Structure 1
Amino acid sequence: MMNDIQVDTPALLIDRKILKQNITSMQEYADRKGVNLRPHTKTHKMPKLAKMQMEAGAAGITVAKVGEAEVMAEAGIRDIFIANQIIGRSKVGRIRKLSESVSISFGVDSIYSVKEIDEVFEGADEKANVMIEIEVGEKRSGIIQPDDFTALLDEIKNSRNVSFKGVFSHDGHTYKAQTTDELKELYDDSSARTLHFAGLARNHGMECEVVSIGSTPPFVLGFDIPEGITEIRPGTYILMDGSQANVLGHNDTCAATILTTIISKPTDERVITDVGAKGITQQHRKVGLTATKGLGKVVGFDDVHVDSVFDEHAIIYDKNFSDEVEIGEKVEIIMNHICPVSNLYEKAYIVENGEVVDEAAVSARGKLQ
């Protein structure tokens, strides 16, 4: 299925109808389950899309970096959670500055961090609001041992300028589940572990205002949310991608694609397009429901994938595909992982019925600090 949208390629496209459906569907799910939705905007890094999520009913947004928080705050969003450990006095100082105009909280998992925050926030009008991250199986950051958790609670309690807001976790290891049943088991275990630590905090005299969990697969599959969870933080759901689409078994919710031009056909089966690693990345998932074939799916063609990429070239080997396309024609590719792809583009073109109807600046791209 060739595309005649008149924009230079490679370009990031967003289908407006699917975008709105995805936003509405997740908000309705959160509302039915009685929890707040705080979408992770690192997926798109676009204030325009974040505002759409807020207008649909989101309680606030999640970001990964202080720089992303600054961009979103400048755009007028007033409730932000940085789901990450922020280490470094200069970064903590920037959060202190943000706290003067927005409601902002951020993650901790060490006494070192709390001590640093306490020092930087000395004399501030408001205390720093922190959430303790709980490691639930992803083998990334977060508290693992209960003793370390209570020691961290004590450090916060004894500080002058740090306030405990709650706990959060990320069950990213659910992406590797081989079946939906296994995915649910991992999700249930992660939720239970998060709630267990919330209970430890309560027993320690420090009630959790927020108990936050998040990753896209359990929520697009409609899993129940255990009592005691107050907030969910999915990110990818708004645009989706090849790996998340594999969980559902279809591409119908994929709002984002890369528009790319056929620039060469060196052999009967080799087709070259103008998007390389700098526009699509080399990411793929190797195991589980989210496992991907190749480096991106070509829209409208059965089982045609990007086989490899150079910096500026995508390589596709498929004789039937080659027979159907000509140099100069454009095709769309569903990327394997949308979050890093968004970071590669200055703007996205919002399209409807084959025409560009709007644009969205990727204002938080490159905000890694």
Structure 2
Amino acid sequence: MVNIGSCSVVMLDGATKGIPAETAPFLIGEIGQKGWNLLAEDLPLPLAVLRQDDIAHNSRWMRDFLHASGAQIAPHGKTTMSPDLFNLQIEDGAWGITLATVQQVKVARKYGHRRILLANQLVGRAAIDGIFGELKADPAFEFFCIADSVANVRALARAAAEWHLSRPLRILVELGYPGGRTGCRTIEEALRVAQEIAGSGGRLSLAGVEAFEGLLRGTTASETRELVEAFLARLLDLAAQCDAAGLYGSGRPILSAGGSAYYDIVVDKLQRHALNSRYTLLLRSGCYLTHDSGMYRRAFEQLRTRNPALAAWSGGLRPALEIWAYIQSRAEPSKAIANFGKRDASHDDLPVAIKWFRPGGSMSQPERIPCGHRVIQLNDQHCHLEIAADSPLAVGDMVAFGISHPCLTFDKWRTLYVVDENYTVVSAVCTYF
């Protein structure tokens, strides 16, 4: 169940995307009392919906995986930027929340989250002051960030001295790879950063080591796995060298990797080296909660090949995020136009037509869309759908589209509507992008 809690005082009205135009202002927590049903055309389309049963299933699936693996998770909150979904993940046992920017940290702090990993370098006076102000104001706030340069570490140490913090800023050294994003390119460079943190006179503390493997790609699935495993082996080497040199601060050090594509490889590689008995093994997958019908569906199919038993566990992850739209034009025999576009859905990969419904007809539930229907282009507000010659779609029909890369769909909606198995709106979540 996705319960509204944190954002219950947010007001919605007819100017809110997805709310009927004549609707007077009301609290988001009251939306389940409206009795609105998507299939009854109570709401204007396009509409982004979260299928409640699938969200709950995915949350349980990841909880059970973590329990069996011995790993913990700080799900990446930038996926949804929804405090209510953060709460669901925390209730299911998440260690904390991962975020990418200080603005995102401020949102999580506003809604009561006390353990946050900033999976980014903390740079710039405004950002540093914002975090140090939070740390000084709340002794219970646990904050971690990452660093990949001596220059950044020295800037943080100077700022910590200026703020007279009563506890050290906890930092994970980030290991990267040539051609990647951030992260030290060599273990030697990472060790210098770690030594700088440890030698800061107590202003900073080395909390662990970290990497992000999600962008590694080979020409084949097996080559990709080899690249990921080799990268993780380097991370293990770094962790061991930091340990041998006595660089870690107090507490159990963190060993963190594992985005939404290769978390099973991360757990397998790190567990086999038994480091999780000494370290907190922390994954940061964020997209598991909604899954998708594109890039993460394909990633899960690769997981199914690598580990069929795990993928089959409880039926695997399910796509929980859908965009519903009307067919508004059939001006050509082989093309239909739906009334949504880039303003409504991510388009790294084009959306996928998955089911359809004819309002007022004989259909009691949406049906799987027949083969031969394919999204070929998105404009700002229009979706070009290639259709089969015998397509049943007509103007006024409703079509559900699965998306790829949920992060970039969430950020197009301030409100997403949670529906039950009959597409009745039972709650809603707000986002802060």
**TM-score interval for Structure 1 and Structure 2 normalised by the shorter chain:** 0.7 to 0.9
Match of 2:415 in 1: 347
Does the 8 A contact of 1:220 with 1:237 survive in 2?
A: no
Match of 2:56 in 1: 20
Report whether the alignment pairs 1:167 with 2:209: yes
Deviations 1:167-189 (A, max 9, x none): 1111113566633x444433322
Deviations 1:91-139 (A, max 9, x none): 0111112223321111111122112212222212322111111115771
Report whether the alignment pairs 1:243 with 2:295: yes
Matched residue SS, 2:344: helix
**What pairs up with 1:67-82 in 2 under 5 angstroms?**
67-82=103-118
Matched residue SS, 2:247: coil
Matches of 1:131 and 1:248, distance apart in 2: 29
**What pairs up with 1:201-212 in 2 under 5 angstroms?**
201-207=242-248, 209-212=253-256
Match of 1:148 in 2: 189
- Equivalent position amino acid for 1:151 in 2: R
- Equivalent position amino acid for 1:132 in 2: V
Task: Give the counterpart of 2:406 among 327, 338, 344.
Answer: 338
Deviation at 1:355, TM superposition (A): 1.3
**What pairs up with 1:60-99 in 2 under 5 angstroms?**
60-99=96-135
Deviation at 1:234, TM superposition (A): 0.8
Does the 8 A contact of 1:118 with 1:159 survive in 2?
A: yes
RMSD: 2.3
Matched residue SS, 1:278: coil
Match of 1:298 in 2: 353
Deviation at 1:152, TM superposition (A): 1.0
Distance 1:303 1:203, change over 3 A: farther
Match of 2:150 in 1: 111
Matches of 1:238 and 1:305, distance apart in 2: 26
- Equivalent position amino acid for 1:306 in 2: V
Report whether the alignment pairs 1:217 with 2:286: no
Deviation at 1:346, TM superposition (A): 0.3
Does the 8 A contact of 1:29 with 1:222 survive in 2?
A: no
Which segment is superposed worse, 161-170 or 247-256?
A: 247-256
Return 5+ residue gaps in structure 2 as ranges.
Answer: 1-37, 305-315, 355-367
Matched residue SS, 1:265: strand
Report whether the alignment pairs 1:360 with 2:401: no
Matched residue SS, 1:349: strand
Matched residue SS, 1:93: helix
Return 5+ residue gaps in structure 1 as ranges.
Answer: 285-294
Deviations 1:189-221 (A, max 9, x none): 232221111112112221371000111233368
Report whether the alignment pairs 1:269 with 2:334: yes
Matches of 2:154 and 2:230, distance apart in 1: 31
- TM-score between both structures, scaled by the size of structure 1: 0.88
Does the 8 A contact of 2:288 with 2:317 survive in 1?
A: no
- Equivalent position amino acid for 2:209 in 1: V
Matched residue SS, 2:75: coil
Matched residue SS, 2:416: strand
- Equivalent position amino acid for 1:117 in 2: L
- Equivalent position amino acid for 1:64 in 2: A
Matches of 1:147 and 1:220, distance apart in 2: 28
Matches of 1:234 and 1:203, distance apart in 2: 29
Distance 1:216 1:260, change over 3 A: same
Matches of 1:172 and 1:4, distance apart in 2: 41
Match of 1:316 in 2: 385
Total equivalences in the alignment: 351
Does the 8 A contact of 1:106 with 1:130 survive in 2?
A: yes
Does the 8 A contact of 2:105 with 2:116 survive in 1?
A: yes
- TM-score between both structures, scaled by the size of structure 2: 0.76
Match of 2:360 in 1: none
Deviation at 1:84, TM superposition (A): 0.9
Matches of 2:394 and 2:339, distance apart in 1: 14
Does the 8 A contact of 1:5 with 1:356 survive in 2?
A: no
Does the 8 A contact of 2:291 with 2:317 survive in 1?
A: no
- Equivalent position amino acid for 1:235 in 2: G
Deviation at 1:10, TM superposition (A): 2.1
Deviation at 1:9, TM superposition (A): 2.2
Deviation at 1:334, TM superposition (A): 1.1
Deviation at 1:313, TM superposition (A): 1.2
Distance 1:70 1:5, change over 3 A: farther
Deviations 1:312-348 (A, max 9, x none): 1111121347x32222222111112111111111011
Distance 1:317 1:172, change over 3 A: same
Sequence identity (%): 22
Matches of 1:175 and 1:313, distance apart in 2: 32
Does the 8 A contact of 1:297 with 1:333 survive in 2?
A: yes
Match of 2:33 in 1: none
Task: Give the counterpart of 2:285 among 218, 234, 237.
Answer: 234
Distance 1:22 1:5, change over 3 A: farther
Does the 8 A contact of 2:195 with 2:247 survive in 1?
A: no
